[in-house]
Amino acid sequence: MSFKARWFRLFTLTSTFLVWAFIAAGVGTVLVRGVPLLPLAFRLPELVFAVKLSLLTSSLSTLLCLLTALPVAYALARQSVPGQGFIVSVLRLPLTLPPVVSGVCLLLLFGTTPLGRALADLGLKLVFSVPGIIVAQYFVNLPGLITVLQAAIEGVDVRMEYVARTLGCSPFQAFCRVTLPLIRNQILAGLILTWGKTLGEFGAVLMLAGATRFRTEILPIAIFLNMSTGDMEALMVSATILILIAFITLGAFERLGIKMY
């Protein structure tokens, strides 16, 4: 290997190691202190509450994301949507919008408009409430799932759906019997990714649902509340739980990522 090639190799490897060390040091600092405290999560009522509420709201918002992202992704991938460019830009907006701004948008929409009042009259109060957590997590993470599913559907040759139709399937049946099974792994990967991200959603939840102990206290909110009151143990445990979930999510995602069709 020439001197230049060796130098370049050394440079890229050193960069990689330094970046790795930076991330590992940050995450490790919390894990080292948090993991021994983990049993507390089952004993402190506040943490038990936060873990349960986090799991409940994330699972529901992920399910909602899937149910709405599938038809939208199909339309974007397979049909010519009128004004496609503009529609897609708006649909993707929450992806680049700071979550706290998404939260402000939702707060104003549900807190100050007739729509919000109508929903509240129907018994669906979204401001400073648990349903508000779900809506905030949903709003921020929906575009990501749409993008993943759209790419997945575009990757399936549309002519297989056509063949299915000449064999008697309606467009919906062709989608269910051909395209859906072919993108099964991408759907699973998208779900895990979305679930992991909804668990960590903070800014939008804080704005719309607020930070009330034992009411809208999901894990990220618990970190925020315990930070402001200086309760370091509870904070460390909450952070550790979220880090461990992130590890599991990443592992599952990569395992699925390899086994694509």
Q: How far apart are CA 30 and CA 47, in angstroms?
A: 17
Contact 201, 137 (CB under 8 A): yes
Contact 179, 150 (CB under 8 A): no
Q: Which residues contact 22 (CB under 8 A, 6 or more apart)?
A: none
Q: Which one, of 243, 200, 172, lies nearest residue 61 by Cα?
A: 200
Q: Which residues contact 40 (CB under 8 A, 6 or more apart)?
A: 47, 233, 234, 237
124 vs 160 by CB, closer to other proteins? 160
Q: Which one, of 161, 208, 162, lies nearest residue 180 by Cα?
A: 161
Q: How far apart are CA 261 and CA 259, in angstroms?
A: 7
114 vs 168 by CB, closer to other proteins? 168
One-letter amino acid of 188: L
> Which residues of this protein are in contact with other proteins, per CB under 8 A?
157, 159-160, 162-170, 177-178, 181-182, 261
Q: How far is the CB of 178 from other proteins (least distance, A)?
A: 6
Q: How far is the CB of 73 from other proteins (least distance, A)?
A: 19
125 SS3 class = coil
56 vs 169 by CB, closer to other proteins? 169
106 vs 178 by CB, closer to other proteins? 178
Q: How far is the CB of 173 from other proteins (least distance, A)?
A: 8
Q: Which one, of 63, 247, 82, lies nearest residue 142 by Cα?
A: 63
Measured in residues, the chain has a length of 261
245 vs 256 by CB, closer to other proteins? 256
Q: Which one, of 49, 60, 61, lies nearest residue 222 by Cα?
A: 49
Q: How far is the CB of 195 from other proteins (least distance, A)?
A: 25
162 vs 247 by CB, closer to other proteins? 162
Q: How far is the CB of 82 from other proteins (least distance, A)?
A: 17
Q: How far is the CB of 119 from other proteins (least distance, A)?
A: 39
